[in-house]
Amino acid sequence: MKSDFVLAITQLSAEKNLPQEVVIKAVETALVSAYKKDSFAANQNISVKINPNTGAVQVWAEKTVVEQPSDHRREISLDKAKEIKPDIKLGDTIEVEDTPHNAGRIAAQTAKQVILQRLHEAEHNAIFEEYADKEGDIITGVVRRIEPKQVSIDLGRTEAVLPAVEQMHNERYRLGQRIRVYLLEVAQTPRGPLVIVSRSHPNLLRRLFELEVPEISNGAVELVSVAREAGYRSKVAVAARQEGIDPVGCCVGLRGIRIQNIVNELNGEKIDVVMWSMDAPAYIASALSPAKVLSVEVNGDAATAIVPDGQLSLAIGREGQNVRLAAKLTGLRIDIKSASEAEAEAQAKPLPAEAEEAATAGEEISGEIPAIEEPSRIDVEEAGEEEVGIPLELMSTAIPSPTAQPKIAVEKTRIRFAEEIAIPQPVKPGAKLKKKKKKGVSGKESAEDGIKIKKLRRMPGAIEIDGDDEEY
């Protein structure tokens, strides 16, 4: 029948979820500290052994073999030592059982405190080892506390911390909510293990695909690359490792059920599943989906993609999100150009080296006509026809110089006045022009010397001069 001490150790190990051997080891360490303060010297080496079946406690003390012991706690006589070990000699050390009958009240209190401390340490070590093995996996927890800078998630044996930088911006957490998180890091601190989890890490999306798609977990489909902007959009590149398997169709599932489960878990985050290819242009064209790509030119770690004019904004995405994710997915810097822009650059591009050489050779063959210095007419007349060699009658016609620029005659625009535009009506002889009253004068003439200037009604801007009863 087990003693109460063994039953207590068994119950304690069950409550703390620790192996019974770990609890017994912690109790033995605590009893060593308690017995040293009560029955043995402070610097004496002792050890405690507990029988896991009966619960019996044995204390073993290390003593030195002498002829006449002066301190029985540290020394033992040669005769008693030979009873335990026949070939013992003077000056040797031997372990002797020296179990005290009563450890005392102070020793018992000390043993209690040390036992609790050792149990806490053992529990922390067990938690650290358990979650250190799960680092990089998905675990499920319940939201316990919501703070401005972090969210505490209960994992069962311990609590995990979800920092603000690892949260999704479009998510709002509530108490008691059950969520899946990615175990990012496990650190050992004086207060115990610190478990840090994430909801925005790209590997969370990778692990969700492994859980939802059996072909990825068994190796038939490989998830090659993942590019993610948490809460907004993600791109995943997959490849088939077995013939006859459609990797994109396996990830999407029948009627999109598999990909929809992942989208629901990530609170509506958009996910693009594209085909991976060893051909870089084909891979880049697939990564830029849903935009259609006409051609791709790869130059080192950079690439230029040509898309139709109507799909330029679709290829770039909102605030450059689509091309940015494609660059992360492929590992190349991608430049997007429209078809018209690429055509304009191709036309404005300088000729190749061979064409330039041919053009230069053609210029050298044709050459330019050197300018002929023409003698003046006076010099010709003085020198005569024999010296100059040009007939005088031909000098009347000017010989144009090849370098001279022809003058372009610029026709000056003639300004027309209102009087010219207005067609005057024929006036009969002896006819009198009627005077028109100026508005606001009440019939009185305000013009000086009997002459008034009035505007014509038919043509604005034209003027008419009339006098007092003058004939024209």
424 has pLDDT over 80: no
228 has pLDDT over 90: yes
| β 302-307/295-299 pair status | antiparallel
372 has pLDDT over 50: no
What SS3 state is found at 94? strand
User: Please, where in the chain does CATH 3.30.300.20 lie?
Assistant: 211-276, 284-351
Mean pLDDT of the residues in the chain: 75
Average pLDDT over residues 270-281: 91
Supply the pLDDT for residue 368: 47
**Secondary structure element (H or E) that encloses residue 466, with its range:** strand 463-466
User: Please, where in the chain does CATH 3.30.1480.10 lie?
Assistant: 4-127
Average pLDDT over residues 350-354: 56
Average pLDDT over residues 391-413: 45
Q: Across-strand partners of 273?
A: 236
Burial of 198 (0-12, 13-18, 19+ CB in 10 A): buried
What is the length of the chain?
472
Range scoring the smallest mean pLDDT among 4-18, 120-134, 410-424 = 410-424
391 has pLDDT over 60: no
**Secondary structure element (H or E) that encloses residue 203, with its range:** helix 202-212
Q: Do residues 37 and 107 touch, judged by C-beta distance below 8 A?
A: yes
Q: Which of 282, 259, 253, 289 is nearest to 271 (CA)?
A: 259
Q: List pLDDT tens digits, range 168-205.
A: 988 889 999 999 999 999 988 888 889 999 999 999 99
User: Please, where in the chain does CATH 2.40.50.140 lie?
Assistant: 134-198
* Structure-block tokens of residue 218: 């068994």
Q: What are phi and psi of 76, to 5 degrees?
A: -140, 150
What SS3 state is found at 362? helix
Supply the pLDDT for residue 352: 56
> CATH class for domain 284-351?
alpha beta
Give the DSSP per-residue string, 131-199.
Answer: HHTTTTSEEEEEEEEE-SSEEEEE-SSSEEEEEGGGS-TT----TT-EEEEEEEEEEEETTEEEEEEES
Q: List pLDDT tens digits, range 313-340.
A: 999 988 889 999 999 999 989 999 888 8
Measured distance CA(188)–CA(135) in Å, rounded = 14
To the nearest 10 degrees (0 to 180), the angle between helices 20-38 and 4-15 is 120
Supply the pLDDT for residue 125: 86
208's torsion region: left (phi>0), alpha (psi -120 to 50) or beta?
alpha
Q: Domain 134-198 maps to which CATH number in 2.40.50.140, 1.20.58.1030, 3.30.70.2740, 3.30.110.40?
A: 2.40.50.140
Q: Across-strand partners of 137?
A: none
Which residue has better confidence, 131 or 110?
Answer: 131
Give the DSSP per-residue string, 268-328.
Answer: S-EEEEEE--SSHHHHHHHHTTTS--SEEEEETTEEEEEE-GGGHHHHH-GGGHHHHHHHH
Q: Domain 4-127 maps to which CATH number in 3.30.1480.10, 3.40.50.720, 1.10.3720.10, 1.10.10.60?
A: 3.30.1480.10
Fold of 211-276: GMP Synthetase; Chain A, domain 3 (3.30.300)
To the nearest 10 degrees (0 to 180), the angle between helices 105-132 and 20-38 is 150
Q: CA 277, 280, 248: angle at the middle one, nearest 5?
A: 25
